[in-house]
């Protein structure tokens, strides 16, 4: 579910692409700048794959009171060892309470077992296995590109005005679903029910913030989990780290129904911070620490 919400937020984030130079200058041609921005689009997972970061996320679950997304907040240190193949989400805090040293050691031992299995398999990799792995990665990139293309085709958008956000020049762009468009993906079908505004960096063609609201009731998950009611809200923000624009906050809130009859309240939050370029020295420290805890 976490991946679905992040994908939906990305879909909402790519609907508006603009640039400009002066506050009173004519707004640029949207079609031209949409083409520029498409070159920069990627999924959150791909954007984050070169970084370690801290993830603070609301646990998604349905409790006896009919609440979704109000479980304890969990905090992870995320290490992209081999994106798409081996990643380590190290739980360090649950519900505001640090994870015990015993639980951390157990997590590290389990990670070490996975890591050594992965490294052993990589060492035995022959030509056929390597080609299959590269093909899987290429298919993943193609899927990301298709999703980005679909997201930008879902909406009609209009350049509204210039503003300043975090000291950066931005263009505010309104967007709404195109009539009679039939999205192919699950994320696209959900995103196509939203309308709102995006704040896009004027010179770098990068989405910095999106605020959106559901115009219709929206299927959430596979339809068995929940239906978001009209008026549900989504927020997505990105900031620049070491030259890359990376997600820092995703929020989805609203009311709806789960299992076709139970009323629910959804309040999902995912925050990412402490971005650092991942390198082999960090991996060595993780592995050595896990081996030492045996």
Taking the CA atoms of residue 278, residue 279, residue 281 and residue 282 in that order, the dihedral angle to the nearest 10 degrees is 20
pLDDT, position 247: 93
What b-and-e string marks burial along 166-197, b requiring 16 or more CB atoms within 10 Å of the CB? eebbbbbbbbbbeeeeebebebbbbbbbbbbb
In this prediction the pTM is: 0.76
pLDDT at res. 17: 36
What's the pLDDT score for residue 220? 66
Nearest one of 229, 277, 273 to 254, comparing CA atoms: 229
C-alpha 63/C-alpha 60 separation (Å) is 10
Show pLDDT as tens, one digit a residue, over the chain (294 residues): 455 545 555 555 544 333 333 455 677 777 777 677 777 766 677 778 889 999 999 866 555 554 554 567 899 999 988 777 788 999 999 989 999 999 999 999 999 898 888 888 777 666 676 666 677 777 766 776 676 667 667 888 888 888 899 999 888 988 888 888 777 777 777 788 899 999 988 888 888 999 999 998 887 654 455 678 889 899 999 999 988 899 999 998 888 777 656 777 778 889 999 999 887 777 777 777 767 665
d(CA 143, CA 258): 29
Distance (Å, whole) CA 135 – CA 170: 38
d(CA 207, CA 199): 6
């Amino acid at each position: 579910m976490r991946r679905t919400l992040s994908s939906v937020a990305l879909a909402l984030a790519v609907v508006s692409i603009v640039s400009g130079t002066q506050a009173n200058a004519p707004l640029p041609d949207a079609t031209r700048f949409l083409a520029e921005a498409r070159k920069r689009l990627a999924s959150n997972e791909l954007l984050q794959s070169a970084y370690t970061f801290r993830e603070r996320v609301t646990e998604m679950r349905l409790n006896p009171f009919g609440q979704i997304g109000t479980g304890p907040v969990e905090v992870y240190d995320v290490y992209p060892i081999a994106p798409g193949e081996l990643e380590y989400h190290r739980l360090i805090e649950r519900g505001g309470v640090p994870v015990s040293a015993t639980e951390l050691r157990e997590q590290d031992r389990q990670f070490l077992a996975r890591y050594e299995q992965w490294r052993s398999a990589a060492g035995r990799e022959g030509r056929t296995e390597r080609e299959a792995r590269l093909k899987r990665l290429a298919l993943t990139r193609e899927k990301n590109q298709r999703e980005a293309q679909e997201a930008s085709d879902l909406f009609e958008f209009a350049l509204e005005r210039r503003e300043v956000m975090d000291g950066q020049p931005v263009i505010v762009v309104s967007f709404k679903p195109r009539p009679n468009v039939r999205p192919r993906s699950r994320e696209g079908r959900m995103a196509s029910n939203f309308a709102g505004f995006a704040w896009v960096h004027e010179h770098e063609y990068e989405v910095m913030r999106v605020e959106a609201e559901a115009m219709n009731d929206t299927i959430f998950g596979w339809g068995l989990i929940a239906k978001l009611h009209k008026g549900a809200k989504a927020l997505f923000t990105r900031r620049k780290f070491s030259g890359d624009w990376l997600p820092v906050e995703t929020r989805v809130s609203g009311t709806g129904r789960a299992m076709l009859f139970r009323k629910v309240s959804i309040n999902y939050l995912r925050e990412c911070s402490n971005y650092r370029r991942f390198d082999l020295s960090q991996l060595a420290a993780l592995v050595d620490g896990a081996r030492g805890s045996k």
